[in-house]
Structure 1
Amino acid sequence: MKQLLLVWIIVSLIFSISRAANAQTAVPITSPAIVQNKQLIDPAAATQAWLATVPREQREKSDAYFEGGYWLALWNFLLVVTISIFLLASRISARLRDFAENVCRGSRWLPLQVIFYAIPYFLIVATLSFPLVVYENFFRERQYGFATQNFLPWFREHLIGLGVGIVAGTILLIVLYTVFRRAPRTWSIWGTIVAILFMFAITFIAPVFIEPLFNTYKPLANPEIRDPILAMAQANQIPVKQVFEVDASRQTTRVSANVAGVLGTTRIALNDNLLKQCTLPEIREVMAHEMGHYVLNHGAKLLTYFGVFVLVGFALTPAFFNSAVTHWGSKWAVRGIADPAGFPLLVLIFSTMVFIATPFLNTVVRVTEREADAFGINTSREPDGMAKVALKLGAYRKLDPTPLEEFIFFDHPSGRARIRMAMDWKAANLPAGESPVTEGSSTGR
């Protein structure tokens, strides 16, 4: 019965994602006005014209940066595998468990043992992974011109993030190991609920309560930018009364924005790079895209999809975990699923599942991003603004990947795909008789 339920969940998830993906496919429309518009503007040619505006050297640099991320995904996975096996085989994890038990001897409050295990565990992992972290997030970002911080400010924020991660991770482990001990047969279900609640906190609470630890948020004062954004928010029933500006230029040159929050904490924010680098039509398009995520309930949908993935992962974990403990448990001094010493094994199993499922997980996110793109362009009605923003994002995201690359590695639509959507929209919505001669467009056939 449990196997049938698992199969049903997987099939339902794949079917729902397939329907969402198919919903993004353009349906041929034969309206005479649209036919006339497409005689004025050729979406395919216009897309290529936009892409051709990017200098070759800039394209090569962008491609090199993004393709380097393919290898970093592999190196990060292999690092997790190596650290996990090292902590198990060296019995460091078991010693941390023994240390926690000795410190808490006489205490009946088992979560205290998890705390004394988790904190040194996270510190050890952070230390062992620091060389790759500092290369990936500091040196590489400076090499490609995206980072604006020197090392000391970056390291300070890294330590703040580590502290937040240790606190959050320790709380998660306390709850998970309580579930493991009290529900030995149904822990996969309860563990999934815990994971979903944790992801809920990260998705909806972190942008409002954690991100201000790293940046200053202040109300956007310029009414020429603020008022059009608030008008779009009001039109889409987003409960906000002001827009916030974030001083992200302290850390990076990237543009970004978000609409986040829940239960009265909803907030619209855009970073100062967006204000400095983009025109009002581009800003309107970006903000409309972010509003699309909020209006279309993408946070809740992604929680559902990832929750199903976690449930499937937890359902498969006992077989792998018990098999490993049977073969190597005595060498590792791991007693079972409820033993914190086995946590590196759980990390190893789940990291492997996530790595294998990368194309699937990226597709889930990419579908929601495409939905937000469609919402954004219909709300802002700025096709050229969308194309220009896609080119700006192309500074660190490959503009014209192969279909296989986009399927495996892209969690957002490629620049080419986004520009093509904008040009298709433009061809379908250009009033008959209007001149299509605008930047990046191509005249008719």
Structure 2
Amino acid sequence: MARKMGFIAVLAYVIYGLLMYWYLFYLADSSLPFEFQGSSADPATFLNSRELMLSTEYSQIRNLLFFLSTPLEWLIYFLILLVGLSKAFHKWAGETTKNKLGQGAIYIFWLSLFAYLATFPLSYLSYHLSRTYNISTQSFGSWMKDELIDFWVNFAMMLVIVSVLYWLINKSKRFWWIFAWLLTVPFSLFLMFVQPVVIDPLYNDFYPLKNKELEAKILDLASQAGIPAEHVFEVNMAEKTNALNAYVTGIGSNSRIVLWDTTLNKLNDDQILFIMAHEMAHYVEKHIYIGIAGYLLLSLVGLYLTSRIMNWAIRKWGTEFKVSGIHDIRAFPLFLMILSLLAFTASPLSNFVSRYQETRADRYAIEMTEQPEAAIATFQELTKAGLSQVNPPFLVKVFRYGHPTMLERISRIEEYQISQRNNEASEGIPAPEIND
């Protein structure tokens, strides 16, 4: 029975991969609607023919890797259960030490190591793709260093989660999911508080913005937005990527305004101020706290469903999975698989909410800076630097995009321009001259 289940799972993954390949490379339409051709959103107006070709190629392959990666995790955890690896990890842990915490640490180490090695080829393909298309500038050694940091950070967090989770399950097999959810509130807030000062510096060096004139402009915007920031931080990303980014991170006294040095190198001050105004909008409109609330709501539903599905799956296939019950740590791969499956299923909803918030942030930024030309140029540069599709396929947008598409973002700025000109014309105010 276990062999048959494993064969069906592998076959289903292969068929799914072929269908996604067919959809992304042959069925999906990412061409620009006729009414936008020749507009500022038309990539043909700001990318050359080679960049247009590379953008299409890179986006198709990158999207395929995305759609293959998460289901691969499900398959790996499923096979770990079926072939008895979870049972073997548990046995090795028991033979190594009698200490319960030590056994949990050893079990999680072997599980994490096997899952990492199984997904490594796909991770390396993603890295190699970025290098090939000149998105990534990171050396293999530097990339492996980040991978190892990821491994140990994830291991540490997973060890804490497993220790608390199985303590709760053994205390209350019926309502453990409620107590686990209650603990996610302080845990999530703690992670958000320490991330800017503990976790992020493990990967990159952060230092105060060197351009003090630009920093004064950004802090002036922050003051207008009511953000209690005293410094703007710069992070050295040029040695790793050609992509552009900026963000506001952390909560409370650990809040930080951060600019990638690639953004500083490729954009002018007006463009950078537009990006920073966009990021500040998330603070002003409390998107961070709305996001936390949404995450906690989804976590509550997710943990409840995970509890129900795990109990059902173990009753039905406990023998094949070689686990005795939900309290058995050998069932942890099943927990991870179900939670990942539910998160992927919920991603269209969370992405929809995120795109709405990003649209609001774009609107706030353009009204704050009143520089529509700079905003359009910024989006064009972001598209060029990341070889992004201006109008991605439907499934890509639904499952991958937490931001509006560049077609939507640029066209909205153009609509804002038209609206402003019409208002000025109706009030008898001469329209400002626009230099293309």
TM-score, normalised to structure 1's length? 0.82
Structure-2 residue corresponding to 1:348: 337
Contact 2:278 2:361 in 1 (8 A): yes
Tell me, in whole angstroms, the C-alpha distance in 1 between the residues paired with 2:49 and 2:364: 32
Letter in 1 for 2:47: V
Residue 62 of structure 1: how far off its partner (Å): 2.0
Comparing 286-295 and 378-387, the one that deviates more: 378-387
Change (3 A) 1:46 1:75: closer
Residue 45 of structure 1: how far off its partner (Å): 7.4
Residue 196 of structure 1: how far off its partner (Å): 4.2
Among the aligned pairs, what percent are the same residue? Answer: 27
3-state secondary structure, aligned to 1:218: strand
Residue 48 of structure 1: how far off its partner (Å): 4.6
Residue 282 of structure 1: how far off its partner (Å): 0.3
Tell me, in whole angstroms, the C-alpha distance in 1 between the residues paired with 2:61 and 2:192: 27
Counting only pairs closer than 5 Å after superposition, residues 255-404 of structure 1 correspond to structure 2 as 255-395=244-384, 396=386, 397-401=388-392
Residue 104 of structure 1: how far off its partner (Å): 4.4
Tell me, in whole angstroms, the C-alpha distance in 2 between the residues paired with 1:145 and 1:131: 20
Structure-1 residue corresponding to 2:118: 128
Contact 2:235 2:260 in 1 (8 A): yes
3-state secondary structure, aligned to 2:254: coil
1:159 partnered with 2:148: yes
Comparing 395-404 and 255-264, the one that deviates more: 395-404
Where structure 2 has 5 or more consecutive residues not aligned to the other structure, the ranges are: 1-34
Structure-2 residue corresponding to 1:175: 164
Residue 140 of structure 1: how far off its partner (Å): 0.9
Structure-2 residue corresponding to 1:438: 434
Structure-1 residue corresponding to 2:59: 66
Tell me, in whole angstroms, the C-alpha distance in 2 between the residues paired with 1:375 and 1:244: 22
Comparing 252-261 and 405-414, the one that deviates more: 405-414
Residue 111 of structure 1: how far off its partner (Å): 4.0
What are the superposed Cα offsets for residues 55-87 of structure 1, whole Å, 9 maximum, x if unpaired? 343233223323333322221123112211221
What are the superposed Cα offsets for residues 310-349 of structure 1, whole Å, 9 maximum, x if unpaired? 2212222233212221232123221222221101111221
1:114 partnered with 2:104: yes
Tell me, in whole angstroms, the C-alpha distance in 1 between the residues paired with 2:36 and 2:83: 60
Tell me, in whole angstroms, the C-alpha distance in 2 between the residues paired with 1:59 and 1:370: 26
Letter in 2 for 1:294: Y
Structure-2 residue corresponding to 1:35: none
Change (3 A) 1:355 1:250: same
Count of paired positions: 395
Structure-1 residue corresponding to 2:31: none
Change (3 A) 1:370 1:183: farther
What are the superposed Cα offsets for residues 123-170 of structure 1, whole Å, 9 maximum, x if unpaired? 12111111111111x201101111112211221222122221211221
Residue 403 of structure 1: how far off its partner (Å): 5.6
Structure-2 residue corresponding to 1:206: 195
Change (3 A) 1:423 1:436: farther
What are the superposed Cα offsets for residues 395-443 of structure 1, whole Å, 9 maximum, x if unpaired? 3321123566533432111111111222222233344444455256xxx
Tell me, in whole angstroms, the C-alpha distance in 1 between the residues paired with 2:114 and 2:178: 30
Change (3 A) 1:169 1:204: same
Task: Give the one of 196, 210, 220 matched to 1:231.
Answer: 220
Structure-1 residue corresponding to 2:397: 406
Structure-2 residue corresponding to 1:21: none
Contact 1:44 1:420 in 2 (8 A): no
Tell me, in whole angstroms, the C-alpha distance in 2 between the residues paired with 1:347 and 1:373: 36
1:417 partnered with 2:371: no
Contact 2:194 2:250 in 1 (8 A): yes
Structure-2 residue corresponding to 1:96: 89
Contact 2:44 2:52 in 1 (8 A): no
Structure-2 residue corresponding to 1:20: none
Contact 1:386 1:418 in 2 (8 A): no
3-state secondary structure, aligned to 1:357: helix
Task: Give the one of 71, 75, 78 matched to 1:82.
Answer: 75
Tell me, in whole angstroms, the C-alpha distance in 1 between the residues paired with 2:356 and 2:223: 26
Counting only pairs closer than 5 Å after superposition, residues 2-17 of structure 1 correspond to structure 2 as none
3-state secondary structure, aligned to 1:264: helix
The alignment's C-alpha RMSD in Å is 2.4
